[in-house]
Chains A and B, each alone.
With several copies, the nearest count.
Chain A
Amino acid sequence: MATKKKNATTKKKPLANKSKNLHLLKQMMRIRRLEEKAYELYTQEKIRGFLHLYDGEEAVAVGVIENINEEDAIIATYREHGHALVRGVSMDRIMAELYGKVEGCSGGRGGSMHLYDKVTNFMGGSAIVGNGLPMAIGVGFAYKRQKSDAIACCFFGEGAVDEGEFHESLNLASLWDLPVLFVCENNLYSMGMPFELAEAETNLVKKAEAYNVKGSTVDGMDVLGVQETSEKAIHYIRKKQKPYFLECQTYRYRAHSMFDPERYRSKQEVKEWKKKDPITTFTDYLKHEGMLDDDELDQLNNQVMQEVEASVQFAEEGTDEPLEDITKYVYSDSSGGEL
């Protein structure tokens, strides 16, 4: 099973690049604390609308995006705070966006589900399941035509696999040899729908192969495993100029969004998965390998907590967009009013 293999390989490289590992750990911690704070702020009604948190899945975004180059593009979903953050969108601008402020990375227009950042090629933030895949192949198509060796990296949940847009996008990506990494974040549920009740065939790599797309499955709770596998996948994509399908098996700790009675799963199941927590397991591993001691860990924690607090401060001090700008950006010329 993929999981074991990965753990094995990770174990095999003991003192490998301490600074890199601490970096990966810190990235996961940044996401976790950001999400915890967002949750808290939502209950205080500072953040509104839908809020989909990423707790438990941090290793996926961190492990994959670690290998993404500056010129590559990322297309994600409504559960994308973590992806934006590790891509390099500042926590300040993310938090300000959750607050709906002009200083937010989408100018307060998007909110939690629609984070965008042109500077880092972070292309959302789409809240229509499956909707991001055609966009991703289009980006890959353009990069190929432009003779750039950039790739499009597309994150989506396993629920998106059932949408027709998944089917059409994988066929086109394969048919046209497009440089696209399809990262399926399989957290076992699409809202309340258990994966095995949604898929007649639960072997997703087999599905990818039905489009002649190479793929593999990795333990999404193991940041090094994800990082190494996606590194290989991305190398393959750039070298062969072909798409790749990567399934990351992970788990969502929290409710799907903030309104979720969670009738569809047991507290026990959640508890079991938390034992595989990507942050605690990796922390233990680093300590065991002598790459991390308690002081260093406290330091990391403090840095992250400070960053979070600062981001709240930043958002609190953010400004509201003036009403007269409401029709701005419906069209580029900002014509508007009676459009």
Chain B
Amino acid sequence: MTQITEQTITYRQAVREAMSEALIKDDRVFLMGEDVGRYGGCFNVSEGLLEEFGEERIIDTPLSESGFTGCGIGAAVVGMRPIIEIMTVNFSLLAADQIINTAAILQYMSGGQFNVPVVIRMATGGGKQLGAQHSRSLEGWYAHIPGLKILTPATIDDARGMLWPALEDPDPVLIFENTTLYNSEGILTGNEGEVDIQKAKVRREGNDVSILTYGIGLQKSLKAAEELSKEGIEAEVVDLRVLRPLDNETIFSSVSKTGRAVIVDEGWKSGGISAEISARITEELLYYLDNPVERICGMDVPAPYARHLEQASLPQPETIVKTIKKMGGLHG
């Protein structure tokens, strides 16, 4: 793990502190998943929590994604506030029945009688040469399912601050943590206390083009924005933060201001959340658009192991810069 100075903290620590805080604040909260205890979490996120909170609160499970995810759902329905950790979104396919056939619809099916206040955390994303079975970004795919709420913390503040409101939310919330972010460092602004899990956030202001992104795409987009700035193009970078329900208001206000939209999403392009955002923008703002909405997404391929291939399949700051510079009517 990386060295931490007084004021800075890693994304990993932020998630751990968020869980620790929740476990202290509310004794209905417990953490359940594979290797969350003894092992310290497969990405070392829950290190020390077992020692601190004991086996009643930090529960190591056998390899039974459907079983323990459903267990968390059931416990939530009768008053607990479980944090279920599925190691990565790829394994959540084994729990898809419990997430989609139960958590997402129980309240609707029961006429409002049984809500499901469960939080399911999963690691997501590629770029680490883990191959086709371990590198997917399926958060946008889950965002197709009514009844689920989808959060994608991209900053230290959000990693630290999104968990508690998610636990207080009466509905099932899926939190996607991009594996590449765990080691990223930052300074807690102290605003994490008032983190809002309804709205997107403008991370950088600009008038020329709106870059709409989330998760790992944020860092890449900010990097691209700095590059563009040198050439006199000021990009506004919007961190979507919530993939379901999408915050139309923030998206539309940015795009109607800039007249240009680029969506950056590491998930696969075809049928991804990028398409939904693009469609909503053109439905709402067609006559404001100076250019077609651009999508810079993960290539429609399973993740190859070889580094040069995998990197080529993912959005890069250079691609973002090139794409935006090619857009018509941009000075600089």
Contact = CB atoms under 8 A, between A and B. Distances in A.
Interface in B122-161: 128-134, 146-147, 149
Size band of the A side of the interface? 35 or more
Contact of A124 (B110, B171, B308): B110
Interface residues of B, number: 79
Interface in B76-107: 76-80, 90-91, 94, 97-98, 101-102, 106-107
A146 interface: yes
A10 B153 CA distance: 58
A335 B154 CA distance: 25
A163 B64 contact: yes
B306 to A, nearest CB: 4
Interface stretch (B9-17, B112-120, B186-194, B214-222): B112-120
A338 interface: yes
12 contacts: A100-B129, A106-B110, A110-B305, A111-B130, A164-B94, A190-B62, A191-B35, A192-B37, A193-B38, A198-B62, A329-B108, A330-B146
A162 B149 contact: no
B63 A142 contact: no
A215 interface: no
A106 B67 contact: no
A159 B87 CA distance: 15
Contacts, number: 280
A250 to B, nearest CB: 18
Contact of A135 (B38, B40, B74, B90): B74
B305 A339 contact: no
Closest 3 CB pairs of A and B: A138-B74, A134-B70, A107-B111
Contacts of A101: 306
A320 B305 CA distance: 11
A329 B107 contact: yes
Interface stretch (A112-120, A224-232, A299-307): A112-120
A142 B110 CA distance: 20
A73 interface: yes
A14 interface: no
Contacts of A191: 34-35, 39, 42
A1 interface: no
Interface stretch (B226-234, B255-263, B296-304, B320-328): B296-304
A120 B272 CA distance: 38
Nearest to B48: A263
> Interface residues of B: mostly helix, strand, loop or mixed?
loop
A145 interface: yes
Contacts of B77: 123, 135, 138-139
A207 interface: no
Nearest to A135: B74
Contacts of A321: 304, 306, 309
A272 B171 CA distance: 49
A123 B67 contact: no
Interface stretch (A61-69, A166-174, A237-245, A289-297): A166-174
Interface of B: 30, 34-35, 37-40, 42, 44, 47, 56, 60-80, 90-91, 94, 97-98, 101-102, 106-115, 128-134, 146-147, 149, 169-171, 244-245, 248, 269-270, 299-302, 304-309, 312-313
Contacts of B305: 49, 100, 106, 108-111, 114
B87 to A, nearest CB: 9
A101 B170 CA distance: 26
A50 B130 contact: yes
Contacts of B270: 338-339
Contacts of B149: 331
B109 A116 contact: yes
Contacts of A168: 62, 64, 66-68
Interface string A158-192: 01101111001101100100000000000000111
A264 B39 contact: yes
A248 interface: no
